[in-house]
């Protein structure tokens, strides 16, 4: 069995955040199960494949989100990706209110993450 490699910087980040700790841990486990590399970029947990950014975990005041860097290229069959703002062209978010939503959507999350990896590896823009 392959041991999932966590990043000590992300461990520190999770230990210091006041809100969304359980959600961050749940999402982190799902993402790492998809074989991505864990880094801390822009002060947030960021996950990469072959050095390319795939997803970023970020907590907001009203919700918790998983940001897909090239979300606009994903098929989004469940219609759950949200455009982050009027001027956002590429990224999309999947938003959550609590940890149970993350656990419930684990199979869907994994499918979206793996598609995002495929999009990146294919060099789509």
pLDDT tens digits, one per residue of 61-95: 999 999 999 999 999 999 999 988 777 778 899 99
Find all residues with CB under 8 Å of 88, minimum gap 6, and list them. none
Is 26 within a domain?
yes
Provide the CATH number for the domain around residue 51: 3.90.1150.200
Is 55 within a domain?
yes
* Average pLDDT value over all residues in the chain: 92
Report the candidate in 32, 62, 60, 63 with the shortest Cα–Cα distance to residue 48: 32
Is 70 within a domain?
yes
pLDDT of residue 7: 93
Is 2 a residue whose pLDDT tops 60? no
Is 102 within a domain?
yes
Report the candidate in 125, 123, 122, 121 with the shortest Cα–Cα distance to residue 35: 121
Is 66 within a domain?
yes
Is 1 within a domain?
no
Residue numbers of the domain that contains 97: 8-121
For every residue of 8-22, DSSP letters joined together read HHHHHHHHH-SS-HH
C-alpha–C-alpha distance, residues 5 and 102, integer Å: 21
C-alpha–C-alpha distance, residues 110 and 51, integer Å: 19
Higher pLDDT, 5 or 60: 60
pLDDT of residue 3: 53
Is 3 within a domain?
no
pLDDT in tens, 48-57: 999 999 999 9
Query: Can you give the pTM of this predicted structure?
Result: 0.92
pLDDT of residue 1: 41
H or E segment at 103? helix 99-104
Is 27 within a domain?
yes
Number of domains comprising the chain: 1
DSSP 35: T
DSSP 124: -
pLDDT band at 47 (very low <50, low <70, confident <90, very high): very high
pLDDT of residue 87: 74
């Amino acid at each position: 069995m392959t041991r999932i490699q966590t990043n000590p910087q992300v461990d520190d980040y999770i230990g210091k955040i006041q809100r969304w700790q359980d959600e961050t841990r749940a999402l982190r486990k799902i993402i790492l199960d998809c074989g991505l590399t864990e880094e801390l970029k822009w002060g947030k947990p960021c996950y990469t494949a072959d050095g390319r950014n795939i997803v970023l975990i970020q907590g907001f005041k009203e919700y918790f989100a998983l940001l897909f860097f090239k979300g606009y290229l994903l098929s989004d069959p469940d219609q759950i990706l949200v455009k982050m703002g009027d001027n956002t062209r590429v990224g999309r978010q999947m938003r959550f209110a609590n940890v149970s939503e993350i656990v419930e959507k684990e199979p869907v999350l994994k499918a979206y993450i793996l598609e995002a990896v495929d999009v990146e590896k294919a060099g789509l823009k």
